Amino acid sequence: MRFIKTFFSLLTSIRNVLFISLFLFSGTLQQAVEKQSDSRAEEKNLEFIHKTVTTINPEYSILMETKLDSLLKRRGFNGSILLAHQGQAVYNKSFGFARYSKNIEFSEENNIFQLASVGKQFTAVATLLLSEKNLIGLDDYVVNYIEDFPYPDITIRHLLNHTSGLQNYFYVIDNYWKSNHIPTHDDMLELIIKHDLPLNFTPGRRFSYSNTGYAFLAMIIERVSGSSFADFISDNIFTPLDMSNSFVYSPTMDMSIFEQPNMTYGYERTGRWLREIPLDYIDGITGDKGIYSCTEDLLKWDNSLEQNQLISESSLSMAFESGILRNGYRTNYGFGFRIKKGSNENENIIYHHGWWRGYRTAYVRLPNNTLLVILNNNTASISGLDNQIRKLIEQSNIPPVKEVKMLAYLSGRVENN
């Protein structure tokens, strides 16, 4: 009898355990089924799209690594070069030595060069910044801002377009500067007044490339802003654009900046020998020169122009528009930029070259932001090199970038309407 009771008790316990297990399993199973059902529902509500991604064309990279490298080496190029397409760098290289005297080769990036006359575009844009703030007028007379200016008929536009008729200030500095300190813009003006330099022609009658005009633009910027030209460019252009490896030379600056690892020096060749060119006493006058930068920073600068980050589209259009002489003839110069016809007569190439104390530079914008060429060199001539590069690219018929379509999806439920 006791055995039977024990047996039935055991059966009852087993039944209870099975019942509880079955209950728990059914709950887990239900959760799994619901989860799988939700997953399928979510999968059904995923929105699949085709996303286009722009990448550098490998065929273009191979072309650059062969033909362009070969061309630069044949030309004895010693410096940095950057090509960009639609704001994106597609080729960025340096060749040779930043400082021969110390056997210092170029770093991989951010090699700093004196831009020479390529820097005139910064002076022009700084002038347009003041114009957009209604602090100056482009057709105002210079004497309105520089009281002692001895040429009452010259306007700011004449300075920007190189139609002022001013003589080169190098002449008075080279012949009459006797002081030990580095001359400033005020010193330049004083010498011009003292030696009564006549104009080469009536303002607006002719085009004649003028470093003096851009030096006076820098002086106007100083008078109007109350800042030095170097500080104004830094505060209003370099800092906002994060151009951290760019600066304007000033006699008051910490000269240790010229000893940083990525700083280059200009050289002149005498026979087989290269001579390092030191800073010159005439370097104290800026606006026409004196700006230092690197290819990477110049790409930031060019993108800012394209995106109207600093000046409006209308102001940039004026900078890219040919100047007009009094007889109605159009020149090949805008505000800080040279202009020439591209392969398509309806499209212009915007460019500028520079040379100063061993530095040779080029900045070339092809039509519709299709390609930007930046050349910075500190030894050999680069005359015509930008044209050779442009022809090489055009003849290759290979686009710098290509678009790749990738399958992607946006998670989330799709509304059923």
Q: What is the pLDDT of residues 230-271, one digit of tens each?
A: 999 999 999 999 999 999 998 888 889 998 899 999 999 887
Asked if 30 and 69 sit in the same domain, the reply is: no
- Quick check: is 275 in a domain? yes
The phi and psi torsions of 76 (rounded to 5 degrees) equal: 70, 30
Same domain for 33 and 173, yes or no, is no
d(CA 161, CA 215) in angstroms, rounded, equals 13
Query: Do 255 and 368 belong together in one domain?
Result: yes
Residues 30 and 147 both lie in one domain: no
Whether 417 has a pLDDT exceeding 90, the answer reads no
Least-confidence region, from 69-83, 285-299, 389-403: 389-403
Q: Are 350 and 320 in contact (CB under 8 A)?
A: yes
pLDDT digits 0-9 by tens, 100-155: 988 999 998 899 999 999 999 999 999 999 999 999 999 999 999 999 999 999 99
Indicate whether 248 and 385 sit together in one domain. yes
User: Can you give the CATH number for the domain in which 147 is found?
Assistant: 3.40.710.10
User: Do 119 and 221 reside in the same domain of the chain?
Assistant: yes
**How many domains would you assign to the chain?**
2
In a domain? residue 414: no
Per the domain annotation, does 274 fall within a domain? Answer: yes
Choosing from 94, 117, 225, 228, the catalytic residue is: 117
The residue segments making up the domain with residue 345 are 52-406
Query: Do 148 and 272 have their domain in common?
Result: yes
- Tell whether 307 is covered by a domain: yes
Residue 209 has pLDDT above 50, yes or no: yes
Q: Are residues 68 and 16 in the same domain?
A: no
107 lies in the same domain as 7: no
Q: Is 21 known to be catalytic? A: no
Q: Are strands 348-356 and 273-276 parallel, antiparallel or unpaired?
A: unpaired
- pLDDT tens for 258-315 read 988 999 999 998 877 899 998 888 999 999 999 999 999 999 999 999 999 999 999 9
Q: What is the distance between the alpha carbons of residues 203 and 153, in angstroms, rounded to a whole number?
A: 7
Is 415 inside a domain boundary? no
- 411/414 Cα distance (integer angstroms): 9
Does 42 score more than 80 pLDDT? no
Q: What is the mean pLDDT of residues 67-81?
A: 94
The string of DSSP codes covering 61-127 is HHHIIIIIHHHHHHTT--EEEEEEETTEEEEEEEESEEETTTTEE--SS--BEE-GGGGHHHHHHHH
Strands 113-114 and 401-410: unpaired
Same domain, residue pair 37 and 92: no
The strand pair at 348-356 and 247-248 is best described as unpaired
Rg (CA), the chain: 33
Reported pTM = 0.84
Please tell me the distance from the alpha carbon of residue 89 to that of residue 91, in angstroms, as a whole number.
6
Question: Is 411 contained in some domain?
Answer: no
Angle between helices 211-225 and 169-176 (to 10 degrees): 90
Same domain, 59 and 39: no
Residues 219 and 237 in one domain: yes
